[in-house]
Chains A and B, each alone.
Chain A
Amino acid sequence: MIERTVFTHIEKIEHPALRRVADILARLVLENWLYFLILLLLWRFPYLVAALTDTEVAPTRFVRAGESVFWQSELAQALVIACLAMSYNLLFGFSGIVSFGHALFFGAGAYLTFILMIQLDFSFYQAVGLAVLGCMALSLLSGVVTLRLRGVYFAMFTLAMAEVFVVLVRSATWVEITGGGDGLPLRDLFESGRIPADLIATPRPAEGQPLFNRLHMYQITVVFFALTFLAIRRYLNSPTGRVMVAIRENEQRARTIGYNTFYYKLITMMFAGAIASLSGILFVLWGADKQVKPDYLGITYTVVPLLYTLIGGVGTLTGPVLAALGLELGETYFYNEHISLGQRVEVLSLSFGTLWQWMVVVLLAGVLWFVRQQVGRAVDRLTLEGDRARRAAAGGLALVALVSGWLIAGELGDVWKLHEQSYLVSDIWQLFLGTVFVIVVMVLPHGIVGTWNLWRVRRRIRHLERELQKH
């Protein structure tokens, strides 16, 4: 509706150049207003939190770091992880390369940068540039070796390669260079002032003056995130990116058309490697313990982006970002909370049973569905009545089973005194993530954003069909 009015007004402009500029501007705003809004929100986030919690955006010597400062760091780290997830999605979602060694570039970027700084006395920016180039070379090399392999071999090879690098970094032979299993300590580097002041997340507060370093670093991270997002979006809309999507859909066909798919995959791998290495450097700079750990190369930081990509939506631009931000910030927010199976679920002070009852009912529904699937044919053979009667009977039985399961679970929960035992959320977070992951893989193969998009597209198609029938 808004679009129609805006563009009718633009069409009335006489001057062609002016009309064109107005058209481009209108398109830019109308198509991306949500992104602009979110960027603005991210940029003002520290001030927003500061206003809401009545704390300062920057710590001074006399005021302890408050909520705003804490959430700056948390959101920034979540943004960095979101960048990593986006770069993974570029491979997994947009080019069909299922790499299990993506953390290699994440960790290698950080390691290369700081090893270059410590061992060869490069300045910070030189080192970052060289490290990104090095990571691109590394991904080029690994791409040349691995991209000739087919799906499964590729997955295994990348996994084995990343693990080997972890072992190499951990080994005691080059402990002077890599720091061995304890990680590369960076404290000296930070204290000698060789890292730009705006990239130090935990500065020492000077006399009375509020320190804006962390705020600046937060803003740098936001800019980095926005640029990454833009770059990936631009890349996907470029001719090369289009070929990538074609390769994902059908590599054989893309090759038949005449594209050198190997070459396009290599470019994408290098691009993703560069983004991952930059996120790795930023992640280390944000880290509280000021060191590069061998874990950054290992399986954890491959699982994390994989998880977020899958949960958010494979092959969607915003999915990984949403999943990463939501889950990372959620983990921080609920970190010290306790949760109990016997906890009551309350919505608007109305009680809807306990968590335990919900779990039992969901599980029971799953079991019933499975049984229906497995013995469905036998049931069909036994009940020879009409389709509707059979369905009604089955539905009634299922309903009875679910309701009785609900009641029995409630009783059992009371008997076992479930509300008395509680767990720390940070303890069971991994388990929660794993469960969400399995559920998403089994039930929502397109992820949250992907399913949402699909649903919208379907609704649009249905709408258009109805319009067609009318005329």
Chain B
Amino acid sequence: MEQLIVWGVTLLGGVLGLAAFRQRGRDPVTGAVGGLVFALLVAALTNAILNQVRDTSLLTFLFGVLGFAFAALFPAYIVWLLPPLTTRCPDCEAVVYANARLCPNCQHRFAASNRTGLSGYYANLTPLHRRSWLLVAAYLVLLVVISLAEFGFDMAGQTIFRGVFLGMLVFLVASGLSLIFGLLDVLNFAQGAFLLIGAYAGYATYEALDGLSDGLRFVAAFGGAVLFVSVMGALIEMLLIRPLYDRPVFQIVLTFGLGTIMLDLVRRLSDPDDKSPIPPPSVLDGQFDLFGQSLNVYRLFIIALGLVMMIGVFLLLNRTRIGIIIRAGVQDSEMVQALGINVMRVFTLVFVLGAALAALGGIALVPAEGATLEMGSKYLILAIVVVVIGGMGSYEGTAIASLIVGLTRAVAEQLSLNRFGEPVLAEISILVLMIVVLLIQPSGLFGREVS
């Protein structure tokens, strides 16, 4: 059974790798070789996970070696996706640093729009967004100072850890909301329901695979949740949202209604309503001490998952062909269509991506906190606040705003617990934050400026 899964995943990885390499625009031979390498890496990773779960594989040694290769090669693959470090000066052909402002040889001035990486990013920012970064930095420092002054070092550390944890979860919901809005101009109020269904579908998968080992069931629960919600998202986009692109208000209303219908369906199909947490696999099960508090390793896993998704979606958007189509679509989808790209298909893909991210957040929550019917609306509200603060359709805005919202909520909660013995400030703080940001900058911190 497990071997079957390994080979299935290998095949899937091969296909995915081939597709990925084709998207990079390489020739077929490179694509094939790259796809094969990618497939082997995926297989190695899968087997490494399985071996952690049950140490009985015949090919342990081989896959162990491959696992090491994977560990070494995956960062290399990421680096390969990154832009080159050097470039040639157009005037004197000298090799210069890619982000240089001036050519050291001939004083040729590089245009800001050609520069990449962090300095290029900063050089291309509008003054308003530079101010936003300044505000964000000042606000984060303020939060840290307040929590240090109020709670002392250990408690402050715990609070900030909790804030980052919440921020990562919120990011998974909010990034989908922001991506979908950016490209499709659809405000997807069903995003919270996707999170909810992800959690319950994952739980159902976990329960259905009763005979397998814990780790395998855990992986299967993640896969099942993401797959189920992806298919559902694709169907919803194609059947219900696509006919409504010329009636934007009805799209909002429809997703809003769909959210309540899905909640009702989950309530009807799940018995009992609230599910207790599923045990994480032994690798992720355990305690560690941080800031004088014993914490579950699984929380670190969620934070890592959020970070990986953050970086992964960033790379997808910035370093792949489909990413450039998506970004172009955000700018002007009609123009992209005029260039001969089937924008409708990209729309579906982005909708599925958003839904899958939300589902990932949902199933990731189940081992930590179990599943409740309220989790959808709770995270939807937070995600909405994040997207409003970060600016609609802006990826870096969503990322930084989810961190801010998570931290604000955690600090406010702790603050009001200390002061009043009740977490009242938690919700108000978020609303106040949103109002303040909207008063400062009505299009959100990093949103496109409204004329």
- In the complex, the number of residue pairs spanning A and B with C-beta atoms less than 8 Å apart equals 101
**Cβ-defined contact, B261 with A434, below 8 A:** yes
Does any Cβ of B come within 8 Å of A100's Cβ?
A: yes
**How far does the alpha carbon of A332 sit from the alpha carbon of B189 in the complex, in Å?**
30
**Cβ-defined contact, B264 with A306, below 8 A:** no
User: Please, which residues of chain B bring their CB within 8 A of the CB of A153?
Assistant: 388, 392, 438, 442
**Cβ-defined contact, A434 with B377, below 8 A:** no
**Cβ-defined contact, A152 with B252, below 8 A:** yes
Contact status of A164 and B388, CB under 8 A, knowing A155-B187, A299-B377, A431-B265: no
**Cβ-defined contact, B388 with A148, below 8 A:** no
**Cβ-defined contact, B265 with A152, below 8 A:** no
Does any Cβ of A come within 8 Å of B60's Cβ?
A: no
**Cβ-defined contact, A152 with B181, below 8 A:** yes
User: Please, which residues of chain B bring their CB within 8 A of the CB of A145?
Assistant: 435, 438
Q: How far is the CB of A307 from chain B (nearest CB, A)?
A: 7
Q: How far is the CB of B186 from chain A (nearest CB, A)?
A: 9
Q: How far is the CB of A40 from chain B (nearest CB, A)?
A: 35
Q: How far is the CB of A217 from chain B (nearest CB, A)?
A: 31
**Cβ-defined contact, B253 with A431, below 8 A:** no
Does any Cβ of A come within 8 Å of B249's Cβ?
A: yes
Contact status of A438 and B438, CB under 8 A, knowing A153-B388, A156-B384, A173-B420: no
**Cβ-defined contact, B384 with A438, below 8 A:** no
Residue of B nearest to A300 (CB): B260
**Cβ-defined contact, A438 with B261, below 8 A:** yes
User: Please, which residues of chain B bring their CB within 8 A of the CB of A370?
Assistant: 239
Does any Cβ of A come within 8 Å of B450's Cβ?
A: yes
User: Please, which residues of chain A bring their CB within 8 A of the CB of B207?
Assistant: none
**Cβ-defined contact, A434 with B381, below 8 A:** no
**How far does the alpha carbon of A431 sit from the alpha carbon of B435 in the complex, in Å?**
36
**Cβ-defined contact, A434 with B264, below 8 A:** yes
User: Please, which residues of chain B bring their CB within 8 A of the CB of A441?
Assistant: 244, 250, 253-254, 257
Does any Cβ of A come within 8 Å of B28's Cβ?
A: no
Contact status of A157 and B422, CB under 8 A, knowing A164-B430, A438-B258: no
**How far does the alpha carbon of A445 sit from the alpha carbon of B244 in the complex, in Å?**
10
Does any Cβ of A come within 8 Å of B91's Cβ?
A: no
Please report the total number of A residues contacting B with Cβ < 8 Å.
Answer: 38
**How far does the alpha carbon of A303 sit from the alpha carbon of B255 in the complex, in Å?**
12
**Cβ-defined contact, A98 with B253, below 8 A:** yes
Other-chain residue from A160, A431, A445 in contact with B268 (beta carbon distance below 8 A): A431
**Cβ-defined contact, A438 with B381, below 8 A:** no
**How far does the alpha carbon of A151 sit from the alpha carbon of B387 in the complex, in Å?**
14
B247-289 interface bits toward A, Cβ cutoff 8 Å, 1 = contact, 0 = none = 1111011101110110011001000000000000000000000
**How far does the alpha carbon of A323 sit from the alpha carbon of B189 in the complex, in Å?**
24
**How far does the alpha carbon of A161 sit from the alpha carbon of B248 in the complex, in Å?**
22
Other-chain residue from A151, A172, A430 in contact with B248 (beta carbon distance below 8 A): A151
Contact status of A442 and B187, CB under 8 A, knowing A306-B253, A307-B257: no
Other-chain residue from B243, B423, B434 in contact with A160 (beta carbon distance below 8 A): B434
Other-chain residue from A148, A161, A163, A168 in contact with B424 (beta carbon distance below 8 A): A168
Q: How far is the CB of B271 from chain A (nearest CB, A)?
A: 13
**How far does the alpha carbon of A310 sit from the alpha carbon of B435 in the complex, in Å?**
30
Q: How far is the CB of A111 from chain B (nearest CB, A)?
A: 17
Contact status of A160 and B187, CB under 8 A, knowing A153-B388, A172-B422, A445-B247: no
**How far does the alpha carbon of A416 sit from the alpha carbon of B83 in the complex, in Å?**
61
Other-chain residue from A159, A164, A171, A438 in contact with B257 (beta carbon distance below 8 A): A438
**Cβ-defined contact, B257 with A160, below 8 A:** no
A158-190 interface bits toward B, Cβ cutoff 8 Å, 1 = contact, 0 = none = 011101100110011100000000000000000
Does any Cβ of B come within 8 Å of A149's Cβ?
A: yes
Does any Cβ of A come within 8 Å of B240's Cβ?
A: yes
A434-449 residues with Cβ-Cβ distance < 8 A to B are 434, 437-438, 441-442, 445
User: Please, which residues of chain B bring their CB within 8 A of the CB of A160?
Assistant: 381, 384-385, 388, 430-431, 434
**How far does the alpha carbon of A466 sit from the alpha carbon of B429 in the complex, in Å?**
65
User: Please, which residues of chain B bring their CB within 8 A of the CB of A381?
Assistant: none
Does any Cβ of A come within 8 Å of B428's Cβ?
A: yes
B407-446 interface bits toward A, Cβ cutoff 8 Å, 1 = contact, 0 = none = 0000000000000101110011011001100100010000
**Cβ-defined contact, A437 with B257, below 8 A:** yes
Q: How far is the CB of A261 from chain B (nearest CB, A)?
A: 16
**Cβ-defined contact, A438 with B253, below 8 A:** no
Does any Cβ of B come within 8 Å of A471's Cβ?
A: no
User: Please, which residues of chain A bring their CB within 8 A of the CB of B253?
Assistant: 98, 306, 310, 441
Q: How far is the CB of A135 from chain B (nearest CB, A)?
A: 19
**How far does the alpha carbon of A442 sit from the alpha carbon of B236 in the complex, in Å?**
12
Contact status of A149 and B442, CB under 8 A, knowing A303-B256, A434-B260: yes
Most buried by A among B260, B265, B388, B423: B260
Does any Cβ of B come within 8 Å of A150's Cβ?
A: yes
**Cβ-defined contact, B250 with A445, below 8 A:** yes
Q: How far is the CB of B428 from chain A (nearest CB, A)?
A: 7
User: Please, which residues of chain A bring their CB within 8 A of the CB of B244?
Assistant: 441-442
**How far does the alpha carbon of A113 sit from the alpha carbon of B388 in the complex, in Å?**
33
**Cβ-defined contact, A159 with B249, below 8 A:** no
Q: How far is the CB of B60 from chain A (nearest CB, A)?
A: 48
Residue of A nearest to B438 (CB): A149
**Cβ-defined contact, A148 with B261, below 8 A:** no
Q: How far is the CB of A38 from chain B (nearest CB, A)?
A: 28
Q: How far is the CB of B432 from chain A (nearest CB, A)?
A: 10
**How far does the alpha carbon of A172 sit from the alpha carbon of B423 in the complex, in Å?**
9
**Cβ-defined contact, B260 with A157, below 8 A:** no
Q: How far is the CB of A431 from chain B (nearest CB, A)?
A: 6
**How far does the alpha carbon of A107 sit from the alpha carbon of B189 in the complex, in Å?**
22
Most buried by B among A96, A299, A307: A299
**Cβ-defined contact, A155 with B252, below 8 A:** yes
Residue of A nearest to B381 (CB): A163
**Cβ-defined contact, A156 with B256, below 8 A:** no
**Cβ-defined contact, A168 with B252, below 8 A:** no
Contact status of A150 and B257, CB under 8 A, knowing A98-B252, A168-B428: no
Other-chain residue from A98, A148, A161, A163 in contact with B377 (beta carbon distance below 8 A): A163
Contact status of A157 and B252, CB under 8 A, knowing A168-B424, A438-B258: no
Q: How far is the CB of B168 from chain A (nearest CB, A)?
A: 20
**How far does the alpha carbon of A306 sit from the alpha carbon of B260 in the complex, in Å?**
12
Residue of A nearest to B185 (CB): A152
Contact status of A303 and B384, CB under 8 A, knowing A149-B438, A168-B427: no
Q: How far is the CB of B91 from chain A (nearest CB, A)?
A: 46
A168-B428, A171-B424 known; 6 new pairs, CB 8 Å cut-off, are: A156-B388, A159-B384, A160-B430, A427-B268, A431-B264, A434-B261
Q: Can you list 17 pairs linking A and B with CB atoms under 8 Å apart? A: A100-B256, A149-B438, A153-B388, A157-B388, A157-B434, A157-B438, A163-B377, A163-B381, A164-B430, A168-B427, A303-B260, A310-B253, A431-B264, A434-B257, A437-B261, A438-B258, A445-B247
Closest 10 CB pairs of A and B: A434-B261, A167-B427, A173-B422, A156-B384, A164-B431, A173-B424, A430-B264, A152-B187, A163-B381, A437-B257
Which chain B residues have a beta carbon within 8 Å of chain A's beta carbons?
181, 187, 189, 239-240, 243-244, 247-250, 252-254, 256-258, 260-261, 264-265, 268, 377, 381, 384-385, 387-388, 392, 420, 422-424, 427-428, 430-431, 434-435, 438, 442, 450
